Amino acid sequence: MAIRSDEIGQILKARISAFEAPVVDAQEGVITSVTDGIVRIYGLEKAIAGELLEFPGPRDGSGAVYGLALDLREDGVGAAIMGPYEHLQEGDRVRTTGRVAQVPVGDALIGRVVNALGQPLDDRGPIETDEMLPVERVASGVITRKGVDTPLQTGIKAVDAMIPIGRGQRELIIGDRQTGKTQVALDTIINQKGTGVVCIYVAIGQRSSTVAQIAATLAQYGAMEHTIIVSATAAEPAALQYIAPFAGCAMGEHFMLAGRDALIVYDDLSKHAQAYRQLSLLLRRPPSREAYPGDVFYLHSRLLERAARLDDAYGGGSLTALPVIETQAGDVSAYIPTNVISITDGQIYLESDLFNAGIRPAINVGISVSRVGSAAQTKAMKSVAGQLRLDMAQYRDLAAFAQFASDLDRSTRASLERGQRMTELLKQPQYEPMSFAKQVVALFAGTRGFLDDIPVEKVTDFERSLLRFMDQSHPEIEQSIMARAAIDEATEQGLRAALDEFKKGYAG
């Protein structure tokens, strides 16, 4: 529909005549120094911590620039600027706004790509929402919470079976560069399609091209319909990278408080810590280990504490957090990795050795844990996962030992053979998350010995054919597992019969 120009004129006239600008009553200070995005201001006696400060805009007339009051001193304020600062000069005047940093929240954000202030970065127009939440909020208290008891299906066999994640949990994804950390997070987001879980992907300090690619990938798999991307790329000021995860968290909390389920991915907190280190050093705060400031633990603990599962009396919503940490050459005892490991409820370790050996996702199931554990697993999954965990543990113990032994007894060889097949079974291509019923069927076949006489290199093919066969010939079995979330006796018998039937016809 075309809008005529006189109609636009009418609208503008109406808005101008209805426009009321109250007299501004604020505090004013004077800039005394500008250094790499940190501005020192003389005055502003009554500024509050985290308050938004209004700086004069660039000469091109693109409007005021905002900053965050971080350092309150006796005779002035240190602020981090969230925007261009090259035009600012000593002597420029700065005003308080009386507001702390806040972002728009609500359904209008879903499907959008926004910056750390909630302003759109895509080409889909303004974000139509009146609701705002402050970026910094205190985490839910003990009374309002309840235990994690509902699984959040990642669609990844190795994770859902052995490192189950519950709604409201905080599970760390940790590993070197190029080990598939983001992949685990993206598969999880894609798998939330149709489950009502709103996903928020926060990109901190990444390349703009990477973020664009992720947005395109999520759109391609239909996952943008339930996803918000908050992007603070490497080119953006450290102040924006610093508040990005808090902004994303506020957006997630909105859904949690409304009784809905949300999932947030912080990719990654190593870069976040670096952005905060930059701000802190420029603010002349004393550096401690690895030059990070003393409160870098609190930086992440207060962020991750905001993930919660609320009690039914408080709406029963949840916010699950998947922070990502990049290690250097597998060093998990560096400062930031140890901090975040101790804050989270478990971690998924990804290793480059496994990745290069073709085991993808490259999850080291031996040292990956979920402290919430099987409380967040369905009965069906529990019935197959227990055996799987045992098989894998035995395999790991024997694998190293078996390299030296030439002559192995039969049970040892059986354990090794089983382990090799299970490792093969846990491989999964990217962007192909599996429904939980399919996972149960595949793992059932493995743990109950149906794979033992299949050659190792055929396992992947066997699994794929099996799942196709089940869909075509016995859809009722998966439906029953889905509906009851458990394998009852009838289902188990049906499943065994179906497996026998399939194996007879499977030529390999």
Question: Which member of 371, 464, 468, 484 is catalytic?
Answer: 371
Instruction: Give the interface segment with other proteins, choosing from 21-29, 112-120, 242-250, 475-483 (CB under 8 A).
Output: 21-29
Radius of gyration of the chain (CA): 27
Smallest CA-to-CA distance from 44 within 22, 65, 64, 26 is with: 26
CB 283 within 8 A of CB 78: yes
3 binds other proteins per the rule CB under 8 A: no
CB of 78 to other proteins, least distance (A): 10
Judged by CB, which is closer to other proteins: 77, or 451?
77
Q: Which of 13, 73, 413, 484 binds other proteins (CB under 8 A)?
A: 73
Q: Which of 23, 142, 400, 483 binds other proteins (CB under 8 A)?
A: 23
For 12, what's the count of Cα atoms within 13 Å in the CB-facing half-sphere?
A: 6
60 binds other proteins per the rule CB under 8 A: no
Judged by CB, which is closer to other proteins: 75, or 452?
75
How many angstroms separate the Cα of 405 from the Cα of each of 402, 411, 412? 5, 14, 11
CB 350 within 8 A of CB 179: yes
Judged by CB, which is closer to other proteins: 282, or 332?
282
Instruction: Give the interface segment with other proteins, choosing from 15-23, 357-365, 388-396, 404-412 (CB under 8 A).
Output: 15-23
CB 380 within 8 A of CB 440: yes
Query: For residues 105 and 118, what is the distance between their CA atoms, to the nearest angstrom?
Result: 8
Q: Which of 8, 12, 49, 405 binds other proteins (CB under 8 A)?
A: 12
CB of 96 to other proteins, least distance (A): 9
- Residues 89-148 interacting with other proteins (rule: CB under 8 A): 95
CB of 56 to other proteins, least distance (A): 10
Judged by CB, which is closer to other proteins: 45, or 122?
45
Judged by CB, which is closer to other proteins: 52, or 308?
52
Query: For residues 127 and 105, what is the distance between their CA atoms, to the nearest angstrom?
Result: 9
Q: Which of 16, 138, 143, 507 binds other proteins (CB under 8 A)?
A: 16
Question: Going residue by residue from 356 to 385, which x/- string records binding to other proteins, judged by CB under 8 A?
Answer: ------------------------------
Q: Where are the alpha helices (DSSP H) in 116-223?
A: 157-162, 181-191, 208-220
Q: Which of 37, 67, 76, 337 binds other proteins (CB under 8 A)?
A: 76
CB 157 within 8 A of CB 428: yes
- Residues 35-54 interacting with other proteins (rule: CB under 8 A): 43-46
Token code pair at residue 416: 């090794």
Judged by CB, which is closer to other proteins: 26, or 405?
26
Judged by CB, which is closer to other proteins: 46, or 464?
46
Smallest CA-to-CA distance from 121 within 228, 242, 204, 1 is with: 228
26 binds other proteins per the rule CB under 8 A: yes
74 binds other proteins per the rule CB under 8 A: yes
- Provide the β-strand partners of residue 175: 326, 350
Judged by CB, which is closer to other proteins: 5, or 333?
5
419 binds other proteins per the rule CB under 8 A: no
Dihedral of the CA atoms 115, 120, 122, 126 (nearest 10)? Answer: 180
Token code pair at residue 105: 């929240």
Smallest CA-to-CA distance from 38 within 69, 72, 73, 76 is with: 69
- Give the DSSP H/E element, type plus range, for residue 328: none
- Provide the β-strand partners of residue 133: 103
Number of residues that make up the chain: 508
Query: For residues 170 and 263, what is the distance between their CA atoms, to the nearest angstrom?
Result: 10
Instruction: Give the interface segment with other proteins, choosing from 27-35, 129-137, 158-166, 215-223 (CB under 8 A).
Output: 27-35
- Give the DSSP H/E element, type plus range, for residue 64: none
CB of 134 to other proteins, least distance (A): 21
Judged by CB, which is closer to other proteins: 26, or 216?
26
Smallest CA-to-CA distance from 69 within 302, 234, 279 is with: 279
Known catalytic residue at 93: no
Number of residues that bind other proteins (CB under 8 A): 24
Instruction: Give the interface segment with other proteins, choosing from 8-16, 264-272, 367-375, 444-452 (CB under 8 A).
Output: 8-16
- Residues 223-252 interacting with other proteins (rule: CB under 8 A): none
CB of 64 to other proteins, least distance (A): 8
Q: Which of 64, 357, 367, 456 binds other proteins (CB under 8 A)?
A: 64
What SS3 state is found at 16?
helix
Judged by CB, which is closer to other proteins: 20, or 409?
20
Q: Which residues contact 226 (CB under 8 A, 6 or more apart)?
A: 110, 111, 192, 193, 196, 197, 198, 199
Smallest CA-to-CA distance from 307 within 363, 269, 361, 364 is with: 269
CB of 278 to other proteins, least distance (A): 22
CB of 16 to other proteins, least distance (A): 7
Query: For residues 423 and 421, what is the distance between their CA atoms, to the nearest angstrom?
Result: 5
CB 33 within 8 A of CB 39: yes
CB of 295 to other proteins, least distance (A): 21
CB of 1 to other proteins, least distance (A): 22
- Provide the β-strand partners of residue 81: 67
Q: Which of 7, 28, 122, 488 binds other proteins (CB under 8 A)?
A: 28
Q: Which sequence positions are flagged as catalytic?
A: 371
Residues within the interface to other proteins (CB under 8 A): 12, 15-16, 19, 21, 23-29, 32, 43-46, 63-64, 73-76, 95
